[in-house]
Amino acid sequence: MHRRARSEAPLFFTFPEDAHWNAEHQAVEFGVEIGEYRGFVRVSRRVFQRILPERPTPARCAEAYYLQRTRFESIAERNLRRRQLTMRRASSVCPAIPRPRIE
């Protein structure tokens, strides 16, 4: 059985330390870079409602993001690789977030 050779070069993702709360979208936003392309990912307040034991304030959402940063970045990277998110517009990470409780 032959596998098709990939013509695509490997993608290397960079996640700048620029996460912040976006009040207009009620979400934590963080940057993602792939080579010369830059975009951002939004994690909505609803996601944080599932993982926080109390009401998700903007400060608690940002804190929860940083506590689970590797997980959020991995999900964003996986979704970008699967082309479920696009670098051309704001992207959201929602359904694939596991439900760990943060205390």
Q: Could you tell me the CATH number of the domain that includes residue 18?
A: 3.30.160.140
What confidence score (pLDDT) does residue 8 get?
56
pTM above 0.75, yes or no: no
Domain enclosing residue 86, as ranges: 13-92
Which tokens belong to 60?
Answer: 């608690």
Per-residue pLDDT tens digits of the chain, which is 103 residues long: 445 445 456 678 889 888 999 999 999 999 988 888 888 899 999 999 999 999 999 999 999 999 999 999 999 888 888 775 555 544 555 434 444 444 3
What confidence score (pLDDT) does residue 10 get?
67
What confidence score (pLDDT) does residue 84 get?
57
In a domain, 49, yes or no: yes
Positive or negative CA dihedral for 65, 71, 75, 77? positive
Backbone phi, then psi, for 27, in 5-degree steps? -155, 155
In a domain, 7, yes or no: no
What confidence score (pLDDT) does residue 69 get?
94
Q: Over the range 65-97, which residues count as b (16 or more CB within 10 Å of their CB) and which as e?
A: beebeeebbebbbebbeeeebeeeeebbbeeeb
Length of the chain: 103
The total domain count for the chain is 1
